[in-house]
Amino acid sequence: MRSCLFLGVLAVLLTSFATVSTAQSDMLGTARPVRGANRPAAPPEAYPASAPVSSSSGGITVSRDTKLTAGDEVTIKIVEDRDPMPLKTVVSDTGEVELNGLGRVPVSGKSSTEAESAISKYLTQKYYHRATVEVGVVRKAMGTVRRFKVSITGKVGRPGPQFFDEANPLTLTEAVTMSMTNSYSRTEKVRLTRGGRTTEHDVKAITKEGRTDLDVRLQDGDQIYVPTVVIRFGSE
C-alpha cells in the first residue's frame, strides 16, 4: 500500500517538473510549437535599391558633313592638352570660334572635319608642335537647318515625298526601306533621277550583302522609282 502511494507521488512530481506552463514559456521566451502549423518563412533578404538609369537627352544626331554657321554651339577639344572637358563655344556672327584666349579661327561654311583641320593648322602655326583637334556640334542655330524633299514612286506601299535635312541626311537605301517594299518590288533595279539624269542602283545588294559602298546620299529634288518584278509564265 505504501509503495503504491509512493509511486503515485513520484509520478506527480516528475510530471510537474517536465511540464512548463504557458505563462512560464512566455516569460522564458521559448517557442511553443503548434501542431499542423508551418514554421514561418524567414523574411526575404533586403537588397539595396538599384540606382535609376538616366535617359538620353533625345537630341538629334548632327552629321559631321553639316556645314557650320553663325550661332551654332560647338565643342572643341585639343587631344594633346589631355583636358577631359572640351571647350564649349558658339560660332560668332563673323563665322569664327574663339579658342579660349588663343585667337579666333573662321569655321563658318566648313564641316566638322574641315573645321578640325583649320583649327589644327592655326594652332600648329602659332602655339603647338602638334595639335589633334576634335570638333563636335552641340546644337544647330535656329533657322539654319534647311529641309529637303525627295519623292518615291513605283511598287512600294508608301509612295510620295520623304523629308530630311543636313543634320539628318537620307540615303537611297533608307528611303526605299521606309517606303515599304514587298516581294513584288524589284529593288535590284531602283532608278534614281537627279538633274535630268537617271542611274540604276542595286538596293537589294546594299541591304542583303552589306554593300554600303554602293549606297547614295540623297539630295533635294531627287526622284526614286522602284519597278515591279516581271513574272513570266510558261517556258520561253
Q: What is the pLDDT of residue 12?
A: 52
Q: What is the pLDDT of residue 35?
A: 42
Q: Residue 105 — very low, low, confident or very high, per pLDDT cuts 50/70/90? A: very high
Is 106's pLDDT higher than 90?
yes
DSSP H or E run through 138: strand 133-139
Residue type, position 22, single letter: T
Is 9's pLDDT higher than 60?
no
**Span 159-171, mean pLDDT?**
84
36 is written with which cell numbers? 499542423
Torsions phi, psi for 23 (to 5 deg):
-65, -40
Helices (H), the chain: 2-18, 22-28, 112-126, 172-178, 203-209
**Span 191-220, mean pLDDT?**
92
Q: How confident is the prediction for the chain on average, in pLDDT? A: 77
Q: What is the pLDDT of residue 82?
A: 77
CB 175 within 8 A of CB 218: yes
CB 94 within 8 A of CB 109: no
CB 190 within 8 A of CB 224: yes
174 is written with which cell numbers? 533608307
**Span 105-130, mean pLDDT?**
94
The Cα–Cα gap between 7 and 16 comes to 14
Q: DSSP 3-state assignment of 154? A: strand
What pLDDT digit, counting tens, does each position of 133-154 carry? 999 988 888 665 567 899 999 9
Is 14's pLDDT higher than 80?
no
- CA 157 to each of CA 12, 176, 181, 192: distance values in angstroms, whole numbers, following the listed order: 97, 10, 6, 18
The Cα–Cα gap between 108 and 172 comes to 28
Higher pLDDT, 17 or 80: 80
**Span 121-126, mean pLDDT?**
94
What pLDDT digit, counting tens, does each position of 53-65 carry? 322 223 456 677 8
